[in-house]
Amino acid sequence: MKKLIGKNIYLRPVLEKDMEKFANFMNDFEGTVYTNTISEIYTEKEEREYFQNDSSRRQFAIIDRIEDKLLGLVELFSISWVHRVAELGIFIGDPKGRNRGLGYEAIMLALDYAFDILNLKTVHLTVSEFNQRGIALYKKCGFQHAGRLRNHRIFRGRYYDTLYMDILAEEHKSYCLREELDKIIQE
């Protein structure tokens, strides 16, 4: 089951069989530092509840195309159908999936979906100022600085700002979906 296909990954719906793996991902020390969930402890039951059907979310499992292996999650959440906006979240839970450019590909596929399928106008996200790798990735994907909450999060006794970043539909350079849609429509 492949919903959106990239060069190195594909995105598919999250399945029941993924729950154990997602619970493991969400309890990984290194990975959760960057998602600001390091203080939480997750069970399979809690993961199952998180993935319950909700019309304000679109969640995709990130799958390695070569190994057909679950790597993480990319999601659009807090979708407002009236205002045509959503928030983006991404998590590469499998350490072997990190630092390979797969986050970039997953985000670009999710943005294609957000703008070309869901017809959203804006996608935004939050990131802690200490997450320099994440900030660089989001900029590479076309996100721009949109605001800052000062001293918003505490980590190891130090306060950090939370940065807001966003991208508008007209700023997004399609990754691959527009070409695929054009082919289908022309046939």
Residues tagged active-site = 138
Do 121 and 157 contact (CB within 8 A), yes or no? no
Measured from the Cβ of residue 165, the count of other Cβ atoms closer than 10 Å reads 21
DSSP state of 3: S
In this structure, the number of other CB atoms found within 10 A of the CB of residue 173 comes to 10
- Map tokens 């997602």 to a residue: 22
Two tokens, residue 111: 């943005």
Contact 60, 83 (CB under 8 A): no
Q: Cβ distance 15 to 61 under 8 Å?
A: yes
